[in-house]
Amino acid sequence: MLTWLVTGGAGFIGGNFVLEAVRRNIRVINLDALTYAGNLQTLASIESDPNHVFVHGDIGDRALVAGLLAEHAPDAVLNFAAESHVDRSIDGPAAFIETNVVGTLGLLESVRDYWKALPDGRREAFRFLHVSTDEVYGTLGETGKFSETTPYAPNSPYSASKAASDHLVRAFHHTYGLPVLTTNCSNNYGPYHFPEKLIPLVIAKALAGEPLPVYGDGKQVRDWLFVTDHCAAIRTVLEKGRVGETYNVGGDSERQNIEVVEAICRLLDARRPREDGQPRSSQITYVKDRPGHDRRYAIDASKLQGELGWKPEHTFESGIEFTVDWYLENQEWVQRILDGSYRLERMGAEA
Ligand code: NAD
């Protein structure tokens, strides 16, 4: 049986990844600091599964990580842990440097020392996979796509901190030989997404009858990928990726932010019409644009598709429909975040 150490597995993408890995009978050691974005509710269905070991702690805690590596002897380490919200990075960049840069460095050092001491055979098979973002490439004009050779040009403190972590991962391969893989993915959406990000935020506010805030003119373009397609891409890269390589992951689903908001409004109107019969698009409110807001992201995922045979299952249309239905059926999960009671779970983890 394979054992993976997954960091940030109580967050949005890490949580989806861990649920799927445990279902596939992989033993997961899940290390998460349970910041505001960590939510043990996401993992409720595997709470008592013997293949899931949750550990409350920081990726930068070298003693803790070294102890976990020695105790559980994982076949791979997958690093999802990060501060991940661009707006928060504008208000307070320091936490992003602490976790995404300093924390990743600590993790890399612990993993390098563990990997070096592995017996032959296990050492060759070991992988460190770093989960990153397309935001490291900066912004695009009307045309073109980010490829793996696009120069890094991060524009927000978040993307700058992720770019720094990507460089450290690369350097640990070139300097120490650590067998690393890096994935740079476009915007994810789907179940268990913290309702501060565009799609879950709009669903929650639309249902509550509140204004739906759209930055600037709403014409910023993002490529959207359903979260389980991203998780499948990560598994594919882990299993088949060439050591030291980076792989771009995208859904070929470019949409303007305003188009995303309007699609959600239409789906909600069809499933749960407002009592006054008004369309939810009437709740859209344009607000002052985010400083340094990148205009357009688009991903060329042909390396991952051509070399490793991955392709997404969901189109944007099927994925957003699934997502809206999931939020309608899992209002309790959202409500526990909105009223803050999900934090009580964290106190349980402390005990
Ligand atoms: P998230 O904010 O939902 O989850 C991050 C998780 O990391 C949380 O559970 C949090 O508690 C944990 N964490 C934070 N600091 C930690 C630390 N010091 N030690 C241990 N755990 C810590 O983020 P997400 O959206 O799931 O993103 C996961 C990864 O994927 C991130 O590295 C992010 O940069 C990357 N990514 C995200 C997207 C996206 O659209 N959400 C797209 C591409 C790449």
Q: What is the DSSP string of 55-91?
A: EE--TT-HHHHHHHHHHH--SEEEE------HHHHHH
pTM, to two decimals: 0.96
**pLDDT over 80 (residue 346):** no
Indicate if 49 belongs to the active site: no
Q: If pLDDT is split at 50, 70 and 90, which confidence band does 92 have?
A: very high
pLDDT of 5 reads 99
Three-class DSSP category at 222: strand
Atom nearest to 81 CA in ligand 1? 7
Annotated catalytic residue, options 114, 158, 189, 192: 158
Q: Please answer whether residues 100 and 60 qualify as being in contact, where contact means their C-beta atoms are separated by less than 8 angstroms.
A: no
Q: Which of 78, 79, 84 to mutate to test the pocket of ligand 1 (most atoms within 8 A of CB)?
A: 84
Between CA 73 and CA 196 the distance in angstroms is 36
Between CA 202 and CA 214 the distance in angstroms is 9
Q: What are the φ/ψ torsions at residue 332 (nearest 5 degrees)?
A: -65, -40
pLDDT of 343 reads 85
CA atoms within 13 A on the CB side of 142: 0
Stretch 216-237: mean pLDDT, rounded?
A: 97
pLDDT of 344 reads 75
Indicate if 342 belongs to the active site: no
Say how many Å lie between the CA of residue 8 and the centre of ligand 1.
6
pLDDT of 292 reads 86
Between CA 21 and CA 51 the distance in angstroms is 9
Between CA 31 and CA 74 the distance in angstroms is 13
Q: Please answer whether residues 99 and 28 qualify as being in contact, where contact means their C-beta atoms are separated by less than 8 angstroms.
A: no
* Residues 6+ away with beta carbon under 8 Å from 164: 97, 100, 101
- CATH number belonging to domain 3-288+296-350: 3.40.50.720
**pLDDT tens column, 288-304:** 999 988 999 999 999 99
Instruction: Give the DSSP H or E segment for 232.
Output: helix 227-240
**pLDDT tens column, 134-170:** 999 999 998 999 999 999 999 999 999 999 999 999 9
Say how many Å lie between the CA of residue 82 and the centre of ligand 1.
4
Neighbouring CB atoms inside 10 A of 294's CB total: 21
Measuring CA to CA, how many Å separate 330 from each of 42, 200, 263? 11, 12, 20
Say how many Å lie between the CA of residue 237 and the centre of ligand 1.
19
pLDDT of 351 reads 39
Q: If pLDDT is split at 50, 70 and 90, which confidence band does 350 have?
A: low
- Residues flanking ligand 1, CB < 6 Å: 7-8, 10-14, 31-35, 37-38, 58-60, 80-84, 99, 103, 131-133, 162, 185, 187-188, 194
The token duo for 90 is: 């504008």
**pLDDT tens column, 258-278:** 999 999 999 999 999 999 999
**pLDDT over 90 (residue 243):** yes
Indicate if 134 belongs to the active site: yes
Region of residue 55 (phi > 0: left; psi between -120 and 50: alpha; otherwise: beta): beta
Annotated catalytic residue, options 134, 229, 252, 300: 134
Atom nearest to 59 CA in ligand 1? 19
Annotated catalytic residue, options 135, 252, 254, 262: 135
Say how many Å lie between the CA of residue 234 and the centre of ligand 1.
14
Q: What is the mean pLDDT of the chain?
A: 96
What residue ranges do the domains of the chain occupy? 3-288+296-350
Residue nearest atom 17 in ligand 1 by C-alpha distance = 58
**pLDDT over 70 (residue 33):** yes
The token duo for 279 is: 């369309």
Between CA 217 and CA 203 the distance in angstroms is 20
